[in-house]
Amino acid sequence: MAEQPLRLCYTYPVIVVFPLPPLLPTNPYLDLLTTPMAAQSVNVRRGRPRTELPRLLIGREARIVHIHFFDELTQSIDAAQTAARSLGFLGLLAALRARGVQQVWTAHNLQPHEAHHPHWAERVYRSVARSSAAIIAHSHAARAQLEQRYGPLPQCVVIPHGNYIGCYGPQQAQTASRAALGIPATGSIVLALGALRPYKGLEDLLQAFASLPAPTRGTLLITGHAKDHAYAATLAQQAASIAGAHVRPQFVPNDAVATYLAAADLVALPYRQMLTSGALLAAFSYGRPVLAPALPPIAELVRDGVNGFLFTPGDVATLATALGRAINAPHRAEMGQHALATAQSFDWSTIAAQTADVYRAVLRSTRTNQE
């Protein structure tokens, strides 16, 4: 209790924050996080880096660069380009720190999903972890994994990922949604929605679905943007021999997400690795139970048989067992209500306020050290 008055006795009139990247074209996460920041006296600048980064370098106000995702900035198939990008990124962060810009990192991942050059990926992630004045993890288990990989991180705090309730539009009727998508009006629909990428274990999901009795397993729909067209073709070829399985390698715009979620009975997340998951929160936000890996960060959200079904990551047998349980569960509607109730507890206004408190704590600590 003694710290609360101390926290309020020194505040900055306005804190300038530059999120990196400033935009996520296919994910509303940054919009949801930053919109409530105005009420916290936080000025979030989301202009082009070429404009905003020089302003950060020469500015004098309380300034923070808040790093979210940087794999696209540092990773390349070409080794020389990866080295140059990685060194350039780390050099930029060092220059910002030298000019008094504080660094905060929200650890969405432990490492790149596709690390073309693991040495450079490890070097960049470790440097970001060690040089950040504050780190935000989305769960206690995520924080534990970060410390297991990068050593003690006393500056790491836990602030959950927010929900997506209403973000993609209102809830829709299942029958109309299925008709709009051209999928069967009856039977179970299992949906895997999002970019088609190898780390998600979609091949395992297809194999697990194929192992279930054909008359009762319903329909499996895998859809999303294909970053690698050869990979998408491999998935489609695998699905072609499985009755009821469909792969649609296509971009799903935000205004269609609610339709897909409404059409489904279950959202499958057959990931082999996962630190946090916006897709899981999106499913919960629209009242859909999930099939998810029993990884510690996920187990903090998913209660088996209550709002979802858990399997051992990378194990097709347990994935098939959990998928079979999910398809035959008689209480999926009730599970969907539990899923929605879980999502409702992750309010963005609260999360924005907690994040703004992290900014203030970083700046107070910096001011104390300078004195």
pLDDT in tens, 69-124: 999 999 999 999 999 999 999 999 999 999 999 999 999 999 998 888 999 999 99
Q: Please determine, for residue 370, whether its predicted confidence score (pLDDT) is greater than 80.
A: no
Summarised one tens digit per residue, pLDDT across range 196-226 is 999 999 999 999 999 999 989 999 999 999 9
Q: Please determine, for residue 368, whether its predicted confidence score (pLDDT) is greater than 60.
A: yes
Q: Please state the separation of Cα 288 from the chain's center in Å.
A: 17
The sheet carrying 290-293 orders its strands as: 245-249, 219-224, 189-193, 266-268, 290-293, 308-311
The three-state secondary structure class of 55 is: helix
Least confident of 8-22, 61-75, 144-158: 8-22
pLDDT of residue 369: 61
Summarised one tens digit per residue, pLDDT across range 144-167 is 999 999 999 999 999 999 999 999
Q: How far apart are the first and last CA of the chain?
A: 25
pLDDT of residue 60: 83
Interacting residues of 345 by C-beta distance below 8 A, sequence separation 6+: none
Query: How far apart (Å, rounded) are the C-alpha atoms in residues 34 and 42?
Result: 9
**Nearest Cα to 314, choosing from 197, 148, 202, 194?**
202
Domains (ranges, CATH) in the chain?
3-162+347-366 (3.40.50.2000), 174-344 (3.40.50.2000)
Q: Please determine, for residue 12, whether its predicted confidence score (pLDDT) is greater than 70.
A: no
* Mean pLDDT, rounded, for 22-40: 93
Q: Which two tokens stand for residue 371?
A: 């004195």
Q: What is the pTM of this model?
A: 0.91
Summarised one tens digit per residue, pLDDT across range 228-287 is 899 999 999 999 999 999 999 999 999 999 999 999 999 999 999 889 989 999 999 999
